[in-house]
Amino acid sequence: MRIEDLVDLEVQLVADQEVAEDELHRRDRSIARGWGDAPPSGRGLLLAAWLSGLREAGQGPAVGRWLARARRWAALLLLLLGLGSGWALAELLLAYDGSEPVNVLDFLLWIVGPQVVLIVLVLVAWPLELTLRVSDRVPHAADVKRLWRSVWWGLGGWLAERFEALPAEQRERWQSARNRLAARRSLYHGIEWWLLLRLAQGLAVAFNVGVLLSMARLVAFSDLAFAWSTTLDLEPAAVHGALGALAWPWKVAWSEAVPSLELVEATRWSRLEGAFTAAGAGGDAARASSGSWWRVLFAATITYGLVPRLTLWLVTVVGGVVAARRVRLDTPEVDRVVRRLTTPVVTTRSPEAPEGRVAPAPGAVAPAPTSAPVEDLDVLTWRDVPLDGAVVDALAGQRFGVSARSVTPAGGLDGDPGAIERSLGRPGGRRAVLILADDFEAPDRGFRRCVARVRELVGDAVPIVVGLVHAADRRRGAVAERALKSWRRGIARLRDPYVSVEALGDGP
């Protein structure tokens, strides 16, 4: 993944925290199905394709692109800054109004010196720091660190008190964001380092290019004179030796850029006298050859300035790419994204709205059982309730104090509407009808139709008692309270005050 994609990945993961998981699954799965039968292989490519899919759908983050653009702008600005500062410094150091030649040692000190020191520091200190944590072993390094931290604590303390003054909710959000950044940073801090180093090296490369361009302009379009001078009591041979060592890297490739002893001897300058020290003997030669120094300065700038910085810059480019590729994409949040992309969305629920229950009829509480004396009792056995004649008689006697005048099956395969007509159509005195039913059955439409037909046959105000029994394994058990209530609610729909539901007790 590119760095822009990694940034967008983080932004998208944070944004997705507020979205329901089901919605995310549907969204991501629809993206994945757009890839057909050839999904990207490898997590990096999969996630990059996912981000691309989100962007195409208008839902993806653009932060990565903005940051990439910002990075390019920053690089461009640093390039211009580097070019400008290198050019300006070179103009300053190589300024020659004809009165006093340019001091090559000064030039080397300002242009080459710091860069050599920095490179040595990088090459020596970096591996040491990584492998030995040298900074912790340097005497007083810890004190320096503490002092440095104290300064930040001072500022941090002030910030912390401002933070405490924020509303609790905002405080929690900031804290959460901070924790999240801290947690994710452990993944990405390697890349950040390469990015920053790359920008810095870009600046340095541009600086050196600026110096070289300025030097080239001045050499080509004006006449420069160079010399060297020092207060120290140095012999030209010693200076030649040092410069010779400095010129070692390009000695073979560009021998003209290696200062000769004659050149060094001839171009020593005395500001007191305002002339080359060798002015008397071969002074004309010194003046003629002083311009030759430009090759030495040019080569030194390239060798100790441009080339190392360019090399480092290339290393940071490659390092950044490698670091981006090595970012581990196996955190649980990323796992979740991959799961959403690769697992099908399964839905099983009905898209229709539930119909809602029919409200119970008003006055849904069944009326109290009748207690009036009964002379003629007709019994119906509903849908194969397994009660023989003796049991029916016992129940009838228990409830009404009389035996059944008729016992007729109703409902079920053996129910005969004609038999019910015949049994209940007979006239009688004070009569009642007992309908025996299994408690686990329901007062469904068929049962309600049966009760309505009984009412038609026996007339109004004749008590109809629905007697619930729990008959199983040749015994009668207790009727469940829940079943009794359910039957009463169902029967209440008939709105017949002379129909009641009762539980008939256990027994043989």
Partner 1 sequence: MSGVPAFAIVGRVNKGKSSVVATLAEDPTVEIHEDAGTTRRCREYPVEVDGERLFVLVDTPGFEEADRALAWLRERESSAAARPDVVRDFVDAHDGSPDFETECRLLRPILDGAGVLYVVDGTQPYRRNYEAEMEILAWTGQPRMALVNRIGDEDHAAEWRAALDQYFKVVRDFDAHAATFQERLALLEDFRVLRPEWREVLDRATEALRSDRARRLEEATDAVTELLLSALGFSIERSAARHEDLDGQRAELQRVFHDELRARERRQRRRVEEVFRHEGVVREDADLAMPRWDEDLFAERSWTDLGLTGWQLVAAGVVGGAAVGLGIDAALGGLSGGGGAVAGGAVGGVAGAVRASQRLADVRTLRGAGSALKTILGHRRLPTFRIGPHASPNFPFVLIDRALLHLQAVEARTHAERDALRVSSTSRQWSEERRRRVARLAAKVRAARGDVPRGVHAELRREVRSLVREVVPA
Treating both helix axes as pointing N-terminal to C-terminal, what angle do 113-132 and 307-326 enclose, rounded to 10 degrees? Answer: 30
Nearest Cα neighbor of 302 from 272, 257, 262 is 257
Rounded to the nearest whole angstrom, what is the least distance from the CB of residue 373 to partner 1 in the complex? Answer: 33
For residue 152, the surrounding DSSP H or E stretch is: helix 141-164
Kindly determine how many residues on this chain lie close enough to bind partner 1 according to the rule CB under 8 A: 70
The answer to whether the CB of 16 falls within 8 A of the CB of 59 is no
- Site for partner 1 contains 153 (CB under 8 A): yes
Nearer to partner 1, 187 or 213 (CB): 187
d(CA 443, CA 451): 10
Residue 136 touching partner 1 (CB under 8 A) = no
Residues whose CB is less than 8 angstroms from the CB of residue 180 and which lie 6 or more positions away in sequence, other chains included:
14
Q: Does 183 bind partner 1 (CB under 8 A)?
A: yes
Q: For partner 1, which residue of 36, 58, 280, 344 counts as binding (CB under 8 A)?
A: 344
Give the DSSP H or E segment for 212.
helix 168-221
**Which 393-452 positions form the footprint of partner 1 (CB under 8 A)?**
411-415, 438, 440-446, 449
| Cβ proximity of 290 and 225 under 8 Å | yes
Closest contact distance (angstroms) between CB of 30 and partner 1 is 8
Say how many C-beta atoms besides its own lie within 10 A of residue 426's C-beta. Answer: 14
CB of 29 to partner 1, least distance (A): 6
Burial of 402 from C-beta contacts in 10 A (0-12 / 13-18 / 19+): middle
Smallest distance from partner 1 to CB 410, Å = 10
How far apart are the C-alpha atoms of 392 and 415, rounded to whole Å?
A: 17
Q: Which is closer to partner 1, CB of 37 or CB of 460?
A: 37
Residue closer to partner 1 (CB basis): 178 or 422: 178
Closest approach of partner 1 to the CB of residue 343, in Å: 4
Query: Is residue 343 at the binding interface for partner 1, with CB under 8 A as the rule?
Result: yes
Q: What is the dihedral of CA 441, 445, 451, 456, to 10 degrees?
A: -170
Pair type for strands 269-270 and 275-276: antiparallel
Contacts 24+ apart (CB under 8 A), 277-286: 286/227
Min dist CB 326 to partner 1, Å, is 12
Binding mask 347-366 for partner 1 (x = CB under 8 A): xxxxxx-xxxxx-x------
Cβ closest to partner 1, residue 84 vs residue 363: 363
Copy the structure tokens of residue 128. 């040491």
Segment lying near partner 1 (by CB under 8 A), choices 80-88, 269-277, 381-389, 397-405 = 381-389
Return d(Cα 227, Cα 264) in angstroms, integer. 8
210 contacts partner 1 (rule: CB under 8 A): no
Site string for partner 1, 315-334 (x = CB under 8 A): -------------x-xxx--
Q: How far is the CB of 189 from partner 1 (least distance, A)?
A: 11
Sequence-distant (6+) residues with CB within 8 A of 345 are: 25, 26, 29
Q: Does 160 bind partner 1 (CB under 8 A)?
A: yes
**Which secondary structure element, helix H or strand E, spans residue 140, and what is its range?**
none
List binders of partner 1 among 10-39 (CB under 8 A): 20-22, 29-30, 33
Least distance from C-beta 503 to partner 1, angstroms?
A: 16
Contacting residues toward partner 1, per CB under 8 A: 20-22, 29-30, 33, 150-151, 153-154, 157-158, 160-161, 164, 179, 182-183, 185-187, 328, 330-332, 335-336, 339, 343-352, 354-358, 360, 383-386, 411-415, 438, 440-446, 449, 471-473, 480, 482, 486, 489-490
